[in-house]
């Protein structure tokens, strides 16, 4: 994702008639990334580096954005694993089946049925502290100096996903906002007071781990720290410090091919969920990963495969933007592409969990949009308000658990025609127009 960006993804070309990605023989799996530290970003197309200057005194951002890694780039995230192979793996099917009895309700529902215990450091965590089962939770760029409650008040979006938490350096087993050493998670973090104010307004936050710069630079906690118990303790510390009931895992870039990191993340989350059950807490897990209109690519699906094999309960948040499709001059309809991606992912999840009803499968799946112009230089991938409305209607009709955007700081029309801005959408719109539209999803 953008500067504090959303996840990158390894994507395989797919036949339009099926949801199963099909890699071209001998070709590396293309994909896209979120770029997070835009102060210096290399152009993956082989052009000269694009230099972005950070204003004096302002921290370098970690952002959510996906830069395409289709054949135009020299960087390969690794060979794409055909999804048919993933689904046919006996061990995976057995693991998924083994987890089903414990998941009589879908992850979001199961979490909401559990009582929540709140830490004193973050205010009262009664039932109001739970994230609604159907919620609009846009990403909030933590590298900015924006106030969480102020943004929520002005935008009308009381639930925010805070991006991102990562380690200050490789090999570390602690996390900080934007990876800044002076923003380590702990009792002195100013976000604690801001989150308390937000809860008084009826809202809540979802801390997000990862993002492109962390996943690409090995500072994502599961890639950086080699101790599963220590990773689990970090997750627990975030839950207790901020009194949250949901964590977002933004997995992209090199993290998609880090098998050891993927396994550690799954094992640590399982330990977290076991701890939550013993301490009577609610901790929901969301995996934010990339998608194509034809569905989830193999590398991304492996993240879910590992989580299921470890018995983790989770939902999936697909990023419906940055496709880098060679479209006509008129562009593609992003709303239609997002709906197609949701339907394709639904079919894939149905193969993975064959015993689940349609409603329970939809309850596993959320979607994130990028308001305005995405990273594709041709400006043919643009999300307009009617696209967002179409996705919101689809999400409401199918009772999806989550809608989001990257990022709420972009929800304004202050830079018409600009590609890939962290501060505006690049299209003509009123301030907070996307949030005002999508917030209806929470209120339905």
User: Domain containing 405 — which CATH number?
Assistant: 3.20.20.80
Token readout for 119 is 């830490």
pLDDT tens string 112-128: 323 333 333 343 333 45
Kindly state the average pLDDT of the residues 170-199: 97
pLDDT of residue 1: 65
Tell me if 336 is assigned to some domain: yes
CA atoms within 13 Å, Cβ hemisphere of 331: 19
Whether the per-residue pLDDT at 280 is higher than 80: the answer is yes
The answer to whether 211 and 1 are in contact (CB under 8 A) is: yes
Tell me if 399 is assigned to some domain: yes
pLDDT of residue 212: 87
Ranked by mean pLDDT, the top range of 12-21, 76-85, 274-283, 322-331 is 274-283
Range of the domain at 104: 81-443
Percent of all residues in the chain with a pLDDT value above 70, rounded to a whole number: 71
State the DSSP string of 216-272: HHT-SHHHH---HHHHHHHHHHHHHHHT-SEEEEE--GGGGG-HHHHHHHHHHHHHH
Is residue 147 very low, low, confident or very high in pLDDT (cuts 50, 70, 90)? very high
Kindly state the average pLDDT of the residues 188-192: 97
- The span from the CA of 40 to the CA of 293, in Å, is 30
Tell me if 418 is assigned to some domain: yes
Domain count for the chain, please give it: 1
Token readout for 24 is 């071209």
Whether the per-residue pLDDT at 203 is higher than 50: the answer is yes
Tell me if 61 is assigned to some domain: no
């Amino acid at each position: 994702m953008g500067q504090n960006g959303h996840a990158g993804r390894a994507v395989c070309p797919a036949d339009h008639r099926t949801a199963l990605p099909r890699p071209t023989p001998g070709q590396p799996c293309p994909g896209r990334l979120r770029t997070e530290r835009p102060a210096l970003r290399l152009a993956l197309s082989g052009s000269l580096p694009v230099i972005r200057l950070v204003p004096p005194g302002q921290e370098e951002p970690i952002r959510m954005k996906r830069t395409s890694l289709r054949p135009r780039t020299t960087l390969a995230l690794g060979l794409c694993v055909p999804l048919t192979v993933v689904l046919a793996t006996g061990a995976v099917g057995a693991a998924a089946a083994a987890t089903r009895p414990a998941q009589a309700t879908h992850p979001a529902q199961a979490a909401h049925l559990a009582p929540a215990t709140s830490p004193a450091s973050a205010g009262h965590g009664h039932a109001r502290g739970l994230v609604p089962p159907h919620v609009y939770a846009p990403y909030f760029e933590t590298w900015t100096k924006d106030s969480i409650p102020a943004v929520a008040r002005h935008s009308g979006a009381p639930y925010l996903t805070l991006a991102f938490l990562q380690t200050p350096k490789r090999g570390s087993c602690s996390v900080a906002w934007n990876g800044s050493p002076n923003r380590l998670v702990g009792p002195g973090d100013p976000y604690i007071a801001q989150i308390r104010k937000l809860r008084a307004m009826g809202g809540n936050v979802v801390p997000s781990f990862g993002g492109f710069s962390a996943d690409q630079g090995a500072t994502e906690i599961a890639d950086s720290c080699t101790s599963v118990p220590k990773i689990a303790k970090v997750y627990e510390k975030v839950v207790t410090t901020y009194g949250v009931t949901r964590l977002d895992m933004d997995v992209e870039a090199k993290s998609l091919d880090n098998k050891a990191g993927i396994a550690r993340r799954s094992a640590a989350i399982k330990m977290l969920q076991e701890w939550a059950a013993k301490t009577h807490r609610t901790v929901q897990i969301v995996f934010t990963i990339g998608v194509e209109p034809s569905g989830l690519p193999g590398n991304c699906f492996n993240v879910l495969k590992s989580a299921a094999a470890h018995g983790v309960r989770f939902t999936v948040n697909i990023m419906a933007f940055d496709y880098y499709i060679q479209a006509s001059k008129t562009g593609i309809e992003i709303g239609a592409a997002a709906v197609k991606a949701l339907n394709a992912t639904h079919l894939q999840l149905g193969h993975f969990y064959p015993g689940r009803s349609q409603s329970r499968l939809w309850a596993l799946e959320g979607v994130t949009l990028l308001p305005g112009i995405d990273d594709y230089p041709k400006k043919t991938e643009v999300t307009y308000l009617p696209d967002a409305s179409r996705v919101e209607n689809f999400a409401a009709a199918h009772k999806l658990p989550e809608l989001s955007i990257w990022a709420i700081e972009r929800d304004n029309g202050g830079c018409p025609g600009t590609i890939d801005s962290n501060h505006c959408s690049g299209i003509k719109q009123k301030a907070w127009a996307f949030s005002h539209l999508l917030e209806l999803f929470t209120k339905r």
